Chains A and B, each alone.
Chain A
């Protein structure tokens, strides 16, 4: 397993390599996403990296019509919370039309170039 400590930096380094990574607590088994050093469930600091498959389903969403300045070029866009099949959840922009989006739908991870960076997104499988 990789030695890099869980941090915002290491999470996004993995995103650049198109890998969605969580940390697994080696004491209680909790999967922490976003990855973190202190387990959300039991507070232990014993962890290992786990790569998530990137498949999940949409738990809730919104369509942003009034965006922050950075995202003004893509509005309106959909942001949702995706529950990965392994259990943990994450917030992401979903590449889908507002007419087609539904709570409970299946999604897969996608990696796109956005403003000079590799960005995490989800899309329909």
Chain B
């Protein structure tokens, strides 16, 4: 069975960081991860960093070496990994493969994104909207004016039509995630919202309104991974990554077999559960990719926390709340914690690790946690399952 230990974690606040560029956000998160593990940059044998579109927002590529340089880990190999919003989920997987194969003993994985303008570049909302749409099919989706919220809105229309899912159920997900973020110092929106506020917001892409959409965010996240034998040198409470799976699907939604489920997520989840021989009911806590409220609802179903079409019931009955049967997005999720695209996958794993260590702001009783990180409208998905071993 797969065993890769998490030695340390670090996050920047997810927020508007107009005074910083990605390299500074990266150095902050990575330094915190090293500090958390009481490790030095010299311990890092390789780095894998997820980032979606620094060319668009920052006019910068060749990030792997840039970040190695600014963190002081040269000449260790360092590469950027890209899989849209699942970029850093994919980066974790690269790090896991490197350690599990014996290629390296200690690696740094992370993610970063800057979507607001920075000290050297300004970006307006139309520019950022267009940047997000790059993760869809240029020739056959972008060419028809489809946006990123529009892609998920088409899934919401289909889910409502097929299963009778209600506007109110989507808004309840936003209310829950804002509630969970209210006391999270790393969250972009540390405030609760009312159901009425969530339901009456202006439309972005019908049927999704502003409160169905995650915000534009800047931020970074990092985690130091090591082989299990070395874990005790870095941390008192050892958490292992015990499954790391990834699956692909067509990036154009019109070529998929379903609009109400993500095949990439279902496939990766099924494979993860199979490798660790657990069932969805054995998961104590999950971080799921709620770039839009409908995405969280579909994740409940794709991960097997309920049957297809029953996602609305799960939120209605409070099963996904802190204290419920399967607490989801206890840090506020993408919706309220924020979604600096490339940082999200590692950000999720940081929250799972906090929960398993007993250090979370909305602490629940948990031994096994899962992180579900989706790229674009479902063209890619990574699943990581983590377990506390001491």
The contact of A59 among B139, B146, B204, B259, by CB within 8 Å, is B259
Could you list which residues of chain A lie within 8 angstroms of chain B, going by C-beta atoms? 8, 11, 34, 40, 59-72, 74, 76-77, 79-81, 89-93, 98, 103, 120
Asked if B278 is an interface residue, CB under 8 A from chain A, the answer is: no
Asked if B125 is an interface residue, CB under 8 A from chain A, the answer is: yes
Asked if B140 is an interface residue, CB under 8 A from chain A, the answer is: yes
The contact of B145 among A34, A64, A103, by CB within 8 Å, is A64
**Interface residue SS majority, chain B:** helix
* Interface pair A68/B205, CB less than 8 Å apart: no
Asked if B255 is an interface residue, CB under 8 A from chain A, the answer is: yes
**In this complex, what residue of B is CB-closest to A9?**
B139
The residues in B between 141 and 159 inclusive whose CB is less than 8 angstroms from any CB of A are 141-142, 144-147, 149-150, 153-158
Total A-B residue pairs with C-beta atoms closer than 8 Å?
Answer: 97
By Cβ-Cβ distance, the 9 closest A-B pairs, closest first, are A62-B153, A63-B206, A71-B145, A60-B158, A89-B254, A68-B130, A8-B139, A69-B126, A62-B150
Q: Chain B residues with Cβ under 8 A from A89's Cβ?
A: 254-255
Contacts A68-B147, A91-B140, A93-B145 given; indicate if A62 touches B154 (C-beta within 8 A).
yes
Give Cα A62 to B126, complex, Å.
18
**In this complex, what residue of B is CB-closest to A78?**
B206
**In this complex, what residue of B is CB-closest to A92?**
B144
**In this complex, what residue of B is CB-closest to A94?**
B144
Q: Chain B residues with Cβ under 8 A from A59's Cβ?
A: 158, 259
The contact of B205 among A34, A40, A64, A103, by CB within 8 Å, is A64
Apart from A11-B139, A60-B154, what are 20 other A-B pairs with CB-CB below 8 Å? A60-B161, A61-B154, A62-B149, A62-B154, A62-B206, A62-B208, A63-B205, A63-B206, A66-B149, A66-B205, A67-B145, A68-B129, A68-B147, A69-B127, A79-B154, A90-B140, A91-B254, A92-B144, A103-B161, A120-B144
* Interface pair A77/B204, CB less than 8 Å apart: no
Asked if B252 is an interface residue, CB under 8 A from chain A, the answer is: yes
Could you list which residues of chain B lie within 8 angstroms of chain A, going by C-beta atoms? 125-127, 129-130, 133, 139-142, 144-147, 149-150, 153-158, 161, 202-208, 250, 252-255, 259
* Interface pair A91/B146, CB less than 8 Å apart: yes
* Interface pair A72/B126, CB less than 8 Å apart: yes
Q: Chain A residues with Cβ under 8 A from B253's Cβ?
A: 81, 91
* Interface pair A62/B157, CB less than 8 Å apart: yes
Q: Chain B residues with Cβ under 8 A from A103's Cβ?
A: 157-158, 161
Residue picked from A60, A71, A89, most chain B C-beta under 10 Å: A60
Q: Chain A residues with Cβ under 8 A from B144's Cβ?
A: 79, 91-93, 120
Min C-beta distance of B66 to chain A, whole Å: 29
26 of the cross-chain contacts (CB-CB < 8 Å) are A34-B140, A59-B158, A59-B259, A60-B154, A60-B155, A60-B161, A62-B157, A62-B205, A62-B207, A63-B153, A63-B205, A64-B145, A64-B146, A65-B204, A65-B206, A66-B204, A67-B145, A68-B129, A68-B133, A69-B126, A69-B130, A71-B145, A74-B145, A76-B206, A79-B154, A89-B255
